Amino acid sequence: MIVNLLLLFLALSTNANDEGYCDLKTKTCDNDFFKEKFILYDVNPPEGFNLRRDVYMRFAIMFAEAKKNKNEWKLVLPPWYKLYHWKSERKNYPIYWSKFFNVDSLKSFAPVVELHDIFTKTETNILNIDHLYVLQNFPDPFENGEFKDKWEIGGDCDYDGEFWGYSNITVTEIVCVKFQGRISNLWDLVAMHPSDKFIMFAHGEIPLHDYYGSKTFWDCRKSMKFNKDLIKTAKQFIADHLNCKEEKCASYISVHWRRQDFARLRRNDVPSVQGTVKQIDGFIKKHSPNTKNVFVASDGQNSELTQLESQLTSIGYKVHFFIPTPSQLNDFKDGGIAIIDQIICSHAAYFIGTYESTFTFRIQEEREILGFDSSTTFNRLCPDSGKCEKPSKWRVVS
C-alpha cells in the first residue's frame, strides 16, 4: 500500500516523457537520466571497510566488462554506513565515496555514480527500487563434491540492511535468490525484468570475482585512487616525521599490527606485545640493520600501543604513529585515518603485515602498484608459538 502511494506521488510530481526525465517544478528535462538505469548493492552489515573495497571491485569489473558490450546500466556506489570498527562516526552517516576515494578515477574504470547524484536528479527525492534481489548462499555449496556456478529464485529472505539510513528509498518487490559463483551471472537476474530502472542486490559479498588477480582486476585496483587530501596528509607526515619525499622510501619500515577482534579471536595468528617487539627487531636486524624508524599502523588500544612503543624504544628504535588532531578526525573520519595509515605503510622500505587481514592485503596491493619488490611486502607477524604459514603473494599484472 505504502509503495503504491509513493508510486502515485512520484507519478504526480514528475513527468517522464519522450524528451527525458522532466521535473514539473523547475520545468527542466534530463534526457540522460531518463535513459539511464541504475544498479545498487549492499554488503552484509558486519563486514569491514577493506572487504567492502574488494566487493566494490567485483561489481566495478562486472560493469566495466559489460560496458564494452554497450550495456547501459550504471553502478551506484553504496555509501559507508554504520561500519562496526568506525566508533567515532555514529552521528555522521552516511559517508560518500568521495570522502575516501577519487571518484573521477573510479569513473575512468567503470560507469559508477554516487547515490547523492541520483537524489539530486529525482526531484521528489524518492528512489524506488523495482526489484531488490536478496542474495543468499546455497546451504550446500559443494553439491556432489563440486562447486558450480548456479542461482535459484525462491525461499524466504529478509533485507537486513537499512538503505544506508535513508527513509526515502522504497522497493516494489523483494526477490530471494540463492546464488553462488561468478558475479557476471548477476546479469541473468537483471535480464529478467528489462523495463526496470532501479535494481538492487543485497549481500553483494556473495558473488565472486570472475577472474581474481587478472590484468583487469589490477586495472580496477589501480583506479581506486584515494581522496587527494588523504594522500597529501599522509605524504606530509612521511616528509615531516619519516624523512622521505620519494614514492619508495628507504628511511623507515612499517608494520600493520591488527588487534581488537583479531587479538581476541585469532590468537593462533597474532603475537603478543613482546612477541611483536621481538619479531620487528629480528626482521630489522636481518633485512635493514641501519633502520631506526618504525611506523606502526594499528587499531590497538592505547595501553597496548604504549607498551609496544616503550619496548621498541628501549632497544633503540624510534616508533611513529599517525595520531590525528580532533579536526583531522572530524574531517577525514575513521575511514580516512585508516587510509592515511595504509598510505604511510605503503611507502615504507619494508612492510610487515597481519596474517589474513584485508587491511593488510590492501596495503600489499598498494605496494605492488608502487613497484616495490615483493620480498619487501609479503612479510607477516607470526604467533608467539606454533606454525606460521607464509602469506600468499598476489603480484601485480600489467
Ligand X SMILES: Nc1nc2c(ncn2[C@@H]2O[C@H](COP(=O)(O)OP(=O)(O)OP(=O)(O)O)[C@@H](O)[C@H]2O)c(=O)[nH]1
Catalytic residue among 47, 162, 205, 356: 47
- Min dist. Cβ of residue 54 to Mg ion (A): 12
- Min dist. Cβ of residue 23 to ligand X (A): 39
**How open is the CA angle 118-119-123, to the nearest 5 degrees?**
115
Residue 383 touching Mg ion (CB under 5 A): no
Reduced to 3 states (helix: H, G, I; strand: E, B; else coil), residue 126 is coil
Q: Which residue has the cell 612477541?
A: 275
Judged by CB under 6 A, which of 21, 38, 49, 372 binds ligand X?
A: 49
- Min dist. Cβ of residue 101 to ligand X (A): 14
Residue 58 touching ligand X (CB under 6 A): no
Residue 50 touching ligand X (CB under 6 A): yes
How far is residue 89's CA from residue 84's CA, in Å, rounded to a whole number?
A: 10
Quickly list H helices, 171-318. 186-190, 215-223, 228-242, 260-265, 273-287, 302-314
**DSSP 8-class letter at 167:** S
Helix pair 49-67, 215-223: axis angle to 10 deg: 120
Each residue 265-284 as x (binds ligand X by CB under 6 A) or -, in order, gives: --------------------
- Min dist. Cβ of residue 356 to ligand X (A): 6
- Min dist. Cβ of residue 48 to Mg ion (A): 3
Task: Identify which range of 26-34, 46-54, 96-104, 275-283 contacts Mg ion by CB under 5 A.
Answer: 46-54
Nearer to Mg ion, 293 or 354 (CB): 354
Binding partner at 189 among ligand X, Mg ion, none, C-beta below 5 to 8 Å by kind: none
Residue 297 touching ligand X (CB under 6 A): yes
The 10 Å Cβ neighbour count of residue 245 is 9
Nearest to 61 by CA among 200, 205, 216, 177: 216
Residue 48 touching Mg ion (CB under 5 A): yes
Residue 233 touching ligand X (CB under 6 A): no
Nearer to ligand X, 41 or 359 (CB): 359
Q: Is 36 a catalytic residue?
A: no
Residues in contact with 200: Cβ distance below 8 Å, sequence separation at least 6, in sequence order:
39, 40, 41, 42, 129, 131, 132, 133, 171
